[in-house]
Amino acid sequence: MAYDTGARVRLTRDVQVTGHGTAGGAGGPGPLFLGGGLAGTVTGVGTQAGGGGGRDYVAEFDQQVRGVPLTGFAAGLVDDLRQKVVRAQAAGAGGGVGPGAGTRTVYRVRFENGFVLDGLEEDALTPA
């Protein structure tokens, strides 16, 4: 179900807040969850590319392992893992072909407790 700006909604499940103030995959997971049933108002509607929102997983991987001294077997494992990330990114990692392929609608919601969470998908919301 699509929601317009100003619609009253409730969370259908507990949603983890990431380090960037978004729901789900953008940013590192934080220790905070917003509980299912929490009510709020939709303050924004947007679209996001599927398969991670255009993230460069290879660059993220390289940033995580840069400067870590690895030798022998561990270095081989990390290199193998990096090659798998490269192949997955090249294959599209969930994206489609053509304009609009793999996009999804996401919502920004201001909850009654004062939290504003961006990037909520439709399946996390229900009408209040």
Residue 38 forms part of a structural domain: yes
Residue 77 forms part of a structural domain: yes
pLDDT one-digit tens code per residue, 19-73? 655 555 555 556 678 889 999 999 999 877 655 545 667 777 777 777 788 888 8
Q: In this predicted model, which residue has the larger pLDDT, 22 or 115?
A: 115
User: How many folded domains does the chain comprise?
Assistant: 1
pLDDT one-digit tens code per residue, 87-100? 777 766 544 444 44
Residue 56 forms part of a structural domain: yes
Residue 1 forms part of a structural domain: no
Residue 93 forms part of a structural domain: yes
Residue 24 forms part of a structural domain: yes
Domain range for residue 98? 8-127
pTM of the model: 0.56
DSSP string computed for the chain? ----TT-EEEESS-EEEETTSBBTTSS-EEEEEEPTT-EEEEEEEEEEEHHHHT--HHHHHHHHHTT----HHHHHHHHHHHHHHHHHHHTTTT--SSTTTTEEEEEEEEETTS-EEEEEEGGGEEE-
